[in-house]
Amino acid sequence: MSTQASKDNTEGQKVPLLVDDHTVTTVRESKIMVILRGLPGSGKSTMAKEIEQKYKDNAHLFSADNYNIKPAIRTSDGGEYSIMDDELHKCCDRHEANLVILDDTHHDRDRLEKLFDLANQFHFTVLVIEPKTLWKLDCGQLKDRNHWKLSLEELKNLRPTLEKELLPLYFGWFLAQCDEDKLRKISQEFLEQLGAFKAFKKHLQSYGIEDKHKLNLLKYFAKTPNILHCTSKYCDYGKVVGSEEYAQMEAVKKGYSRAYTLHITALFVTPRTTGAQVELTEEQLHLWPLDAEKEVMPKDNFPKGSRAHITLGTAADIQDVQTGVDLLEFIKLQQTGGEKEDFGEMYRGKIHYYENGMWMLTLSRKIEVKTIFSGYYGKPGVTAPQQGSKKVFLPTCEIM
């Protein structure tokens, strides 16, 4: 790389997955799809190559330039991407890389939705990254910098599609696949032990189960998220009031694509959901909206971060958002001194029964999971495959 190119991309090099050690380690244990987005000449290709080089042992770069796809406002069905998409699909299907890098303008919403669908299909966490170069929207400079020799008018036609920030369905911490696999296993073991617990079988009426011999909590909570995560802010692609303001918070901009370790303090089960209670650090609370608890329980007062959780499964026809509501119900009972029965040690901690089929396992040792703070950009309601579906496992790691 030339001295000038290196200088020009100084800002771009500050993205966490290039310079933050914890992020680099976590990315290596995750399945990540990096979607570089911006005008031609803004610095995407330089950044793409640096990311590929950083993770060269397990990364695959797909550049639209290499397929001779010229940046333009689309008037067709995107057929020019057919060869590139075939190779991208094969790469994902054959598990050839855990880090897939896509270098293109990505100004077209239909194109992006196709990529988001692909990411969901193969369980990739998506990172949408734009260059931070000072000229990224300066068409005058970009006219001389882009190798396609696009005119000033062509660049100005593209710019409006890239000026507005791309907001996700929600922001949150997405588990590295290595730790996700471990947590799913812990969740399954907990449900199996709870289902076999004599005291649990005495409260089956809350679950609508008459015959205790037909009890199978794994089947009862068959709906699980495609990628385990802890939601911080629901945005509905920008439709929710306050979404744009949240995305522009300094902590969110600095935290995006960065790795964080979350601490799980308890596992819980209700007739609707099963989840993990997350204890956020002071740094992580900067990414937590002030109104997160009031959104679902406006009449109650909870400490900031009380709703932080990871949904592990839901009963039929129950939405994931219910898990956070259920967790606040537990906390409300704890605050008011609601009755609970302590049943002593079970599995990884102490098991407690509250009311209406609500069980909580307070862990004797917190579970640590590595995560990447990003957004979910795909369609709502995507769930993980049932047992027996094709799945790739990363090298084993210890979960505390």
295's tokens: 């959104």
Spatial separation of the C-alpha atoms in residues 234 and 215, rounded to whole Å = 34
Annotated catalytic residue 229: yes
- The helix/strand count (H/E) of the chain reads as 16, 12
Q: Which of 60, 106, 123, 309 is catalytic?
A: 309
Spatial separation of the C-alpha atoms in residues 196 and 191, rounded to whole Å = 9
How close are the terminal C-alpha atoms of the chain, in Å? 42
Secondary structure letter of residue 288 according to DSSP: S
Cα distances (angstroms) measured from residue 289 to each of 133, 221, 233, 356: 29, 29, 7, 30
Spatial separation of the C-alpha atoms in residues 308 and 214, rounded to whole Å = 32
CB 66 within 8 A of CB 11: no
Spatial separation of the C-alpha atoms in residues 289 and 241, rounded to whole Å = 12
Nearest CA to 347 out of 362, 358, 337 is that of 362
Annotated catalytic residue 309: yes
Q: Which of 106, 123, 229, 352 is catalytic?
A: 229
**Is residue 38 left, alpha or beta, with left meaning phi > 0 and alpha meaning psi from -120 to 50?**
left
Q: Give the three-class secondary structure for 400.
A: coil
CB 308 within 8 A of CB 288: yes
Burial of 35 (0-12, 13-18, 19+ CB in 10 A): buried
DSSP 141-190: HHHHH-TT---HHHHHHHTHHHHS----SEEEEEE-HHHHHHHHHHHHHH
Cα torsion angle, 193, 194, 198, 201, sign: negative
85's tokens: 């998409």
302's tokens: 């909870």
Tell me which residues are annotated as active site: 229, 309
